[in-house]
């Protein structure tokens, strides 16, 4: 903590006469050079019948500066800044008549209007109510002054007026990580009733969404105490900080601000709606978790207007919805990794066993199609995963059976919340016989297994779950607890709570199966028959799987286009999932809509010139997708 912060914390906090300390964030914010409040003398008042109405001591609570939220490298995601309210200070004793009061107040308000260059509408009743109930405290007539207004008036205030500094929550990166950090809001309006001992000097701020809400208690800090004493004539005789407030703790996330920004830029450039999640496969740390569209949490501070909030709520693209963890979609062909593991580990299929990749097959009285219209001939698992042959997976899924597929899906984390500390995470859905009977009145049939085998039907996953599954596959089979917060620490960097890296379990799939899977995922991006060439890099090998799925009622059907995988393929540093949410009736494919978003991010991570093109073998029917 720097010397300026230490000095401010030692002397106190926002006095009613107008100064406050900054916590750890003072080095990052504009701060006045305060002087401690004067203390003429301090009396011990013993009220008598004659003096009890005027001679008294007030103990008021001072809200603490709210703690910071940072990325893994200490870059601030949420912090405090100084803002200013313009206030009238009434002389004591409070013996104005109503006429004198209104004359005094109106004179000050008119002077303020000239200085600010705007009207201030303050009813007489509000002026009188404040004076009668709490006239010993400043009467605020203009709140949250702009920087230009503050600069204009700070040296020109007439007697009896003061600038009252206070902390405003601010989000220095705007929209970036807004849906994760969330926002904070006032707990209420400025009080105007009779002063009670231990009431707060101004309304506190509380978390309303995201990490601000989850960690509200540790971010809030502890109140200080401020004492004001009046003599028998009602004149102020002393004021001082009895106990300084203790700033809230800092919440250190696992996010990498640069990666988060890259993910949001990719979504903004290439998707109207969607999500991207990037996870460290060696720890389970969430490095980026972006949803699009999003919102700027600064619009909520110090308060959002009813009109702006309604506009956010009514936006048809739902910017308040964090799609990365609060929405679920059919996974499409990204789910073929689970089907492949189930088939190989159950022994239903062997790695070198081939099945015909035909344009369509009959299951019951229904015809199920491949996304390619030509017969691709007999394929083994790696070839089928590379080309994402649907008819291969229909056959293999039915041969394997529903139970092994569902079992391995759950081992990969599908159908369960990842356990991040954010409200509203959904668990998705792994449809078993119980679900099918409750929803469709029947157990799972071969047609349902065929749909499941290509990630369609009733299967639902979140982008976060898909990234988590790819992290497990990428690291060779260790299921790490997904982590969004590293630790909570004090202003002095003392750790209060640490959330350790934790391996929950291992996949227990054979090395041969994992190698088959890795080979197929590498070929899907880099091989001549792969579907994800738009995510390939020159000098770094990417492993991944595209997916395209339809969901919603037939008359409002939408497409979920996916690309998920890990990089570098042999010793992964990043696991990822990208979702592109299409419009009703429009076509979108994983290879052409989702893979380019990941390609855009990876080119920046590995500093590859996006304009330098290397010739590559083109995929078969590259205008199609799985």
Q: What is the DSSP string of 443-493?
A: ---HHHHHHHHTT-TT-BB-HHHHHHHHHHHHTTSEEEPPBSEEEEE-TT-
Query: Is a pLDDT exceeding 50 seen at residue 246?
Result: yes
Confidence class for position 552, pLDDT limits 50, 70, 90: confident
Share of the chain above pLDDT 90, in %: 76
How do residues 347-366 score in pLDDT, each as one tens digit? 999 999 999 999 999 998 99
Query: Is a pLDDT exceeding 50 seen at residue 619?
Result: no
How do residues 410-468 score in pLDDT, each as one tens digit? 999 999 999 999 999 999 999 999 999 999 999 999 999 999 999 999 999 999 999 99
How do residues 382-414 score in pLDDT, each as one tens digit? 999 999 999 999 999 999 999 999 999 999 999
Long-range contacts, 511-517 (Cβ 8 Å, 24+): 512/344, 512/351, 513/340, 513/341, 513/344, 513/345, 514/473, 514/476, 514/477, 516/340, 516/344, 516/351, 516/381, 516/382, 517/337, 517/340, 517/341, 517/385, 517/473
More confident residue, 543 or 587: 543
Q: CA distances (Å), 153 to each of 104, 165, 366, in order?
A: 19, 14, 77
Which of 21-25, 215-219, 617-621 is predicted least confidently? 21-25
Q: Which helix (H) or strand (E) holds 506?
A: strand 503-506
Q: What is the pLDDT at residue 371?
A: 85
244/13 Cα distance (integer angstroms): 7
User: What are the structural domains, with CATH classification, of the chain?
Assistant: 3-253 (3.90.1310.10), 257-605 (3.40.710.10)
Q: What is the pLDDT at residue 257?
A: 98
How do residues 133-161 score in pLDDT, each as one tens digit? 999 999 999 999 999 999 989 889 999 99
475/199 Cα distance (integer angstroms): 54
More confident residue, 190 or 582: 582
Q: What is the pLDDT at residue 43?
A: 44
184/301 Cα distance (integer angstroms): 7
Q: What is the pLDDT at residue 42?
A: 43
Query: Is a pLDDT exceeding 50 seen at residue 18?
Result: no
Query: Is a pLDDT exceeding 70 seen at residue 131?
Result: yes
Helix (H/G/I), strand (E/B), else coil: 100:
helix
This prediction has a pTM of 0.88
Tokens of 264: 């949001």
Query: Is a pLDDT exceeding 80 seen at residue 617?
Result: no
Confidence class for position 54, pLDDT limits 50, 70, 90: low
Which of 95-99, 384-388, 619-623 is predicted least confidently? 619-623
Per DSSP (E only), the strands in 63-132 are 69-70, 76-88
* Tokens 């750890």 -> residue: 24
Task: State the average pLDDT for the chain.
Answer: 88
Residues in the chain: 626
Q: How far apart are the first and last CA of the chain?
A: 55
Question: Between vectors from CA 238 to CA 237 and to CA 244, what angle results, nearest 5°?
Answer: 165
């Amino acid at each position: 903590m720097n010397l300026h912060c230490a000095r401010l914390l030692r002397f106190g906090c926002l006095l009613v006469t107008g100064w406050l300390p900054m916590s750890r964030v003072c080095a990052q914010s504009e701060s006045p050079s305060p002087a401690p409040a004067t203390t003429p003398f301090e009396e011990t008042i013993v009220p008598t019948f004659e003096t009890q109405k005027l001679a008294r001591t007030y103990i008021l609570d001072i809200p603490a500066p709210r703690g910071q939220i940072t990325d893994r490298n200490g870059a601030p995601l949420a912090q405090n800044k100084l803002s200013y309210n313009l206030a009238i200070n009434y002389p004591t004793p409070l013996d104005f008549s109503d006429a004198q009061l209104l004359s005094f107040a109106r004179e000050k308000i008119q002077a303020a209007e000239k200085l600010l260059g705007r009207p201030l509408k303050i009813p007489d009743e509000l002026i009188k109510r404040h004076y009668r109930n709490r006239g010993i405290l400043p009467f605020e007539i203009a709140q949250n002054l702009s920087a230009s207004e503050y600069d204009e008036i700070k040296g020109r205030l007439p007697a009896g007026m003061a600038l009252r500094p206070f902390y405003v929550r601010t989000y220095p990166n705007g929209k970036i990580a807004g849906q994760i950090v969330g926002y904070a809001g006032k707990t209420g309006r400025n009080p105007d009733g009779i002063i009670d001992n231990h009431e707060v000097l101004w309304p506190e701020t509380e978390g309303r969404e995201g990490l601000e809400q989850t960690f509200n208690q540790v971010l809030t800090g502890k109140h200080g105490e401020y004492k004001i004493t009046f003599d028998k004539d009602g004149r102020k005789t002393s004021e001082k900080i009895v106990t300084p407030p203790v700033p809230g703790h800092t919440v250190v996330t696992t996010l990498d601000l640069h990666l988060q920004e890259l993910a949001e830029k990719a979504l903004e450039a290439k998707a109207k709606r969607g999500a991207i999640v990037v996870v460290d496969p060696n720890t389970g740390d969430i490095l980026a978790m972006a949803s699009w569209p999003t919102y700027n949490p600064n619009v909520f501070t110090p308060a959002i207007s009813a009109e702006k909030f309604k506009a956010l709520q009514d936006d048809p693209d739902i910017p308040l919805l964090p799609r990365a963890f609060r929405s679920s979609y059919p996974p499409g062909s990204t789910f073929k990794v689970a089907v492949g593991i189930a088939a190989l580990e159950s022994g239903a299929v062997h790695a070198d066993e081939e099945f015909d990749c035909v344009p369509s097959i009959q299951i019951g009285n229904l015809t199920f199609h491949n996304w390619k219209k030509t017969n691709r001939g007999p394929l083994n698992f790696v070839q089928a995963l590379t080309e994402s042959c649907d008819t291969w997976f229909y056959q293999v899924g039915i041969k394997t059976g529903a139970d092994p597929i569902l079992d391995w899906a759950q081992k990969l984390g599908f159908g369960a919340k990842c356990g991040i500390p954010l409200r509203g995470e959904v668990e998705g859905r792994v449809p078993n016989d119980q679900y099918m009977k409750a929803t469709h009145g029947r157990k799972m049939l071969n047609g349902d297994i065929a749909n499941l085998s290509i990630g369609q039907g009733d299967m639902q996953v979140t982008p976060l779950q898909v990234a988590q599954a790819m992290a497990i596959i990428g690291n060779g089979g260790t299921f790490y607890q997904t982590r969004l917060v590293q630790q909570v620490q004090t202003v002095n960097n003392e750790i209060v709570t640490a959330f350790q890296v934790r391996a929950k379990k291992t996949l227990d799939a054979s090395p041969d199966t994992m190698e088959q899977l890795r080979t197929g995922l590498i070929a899907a991006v880099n091989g001549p028959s792969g579907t994800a060439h738009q995510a390939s890099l020159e000098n770094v090998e990417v492993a991944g799987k595209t997916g395209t799925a339809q969901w919603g009622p037939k008359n409002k059907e939408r497409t979920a286009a996916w690309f998920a995988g890990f990089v570098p393929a042999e010793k992964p540093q990043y696991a990822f999932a990208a979702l592109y949410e299409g419009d009703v009736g429009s076509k979108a494919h994983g290879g052409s809509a989702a893979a380019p978003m990941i390609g855009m991010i990876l080119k920046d991570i590995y500093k590859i010139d996006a304009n330098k093109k290397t010739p590559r073998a083109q995929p078969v029917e590259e205008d199609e997708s799985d």
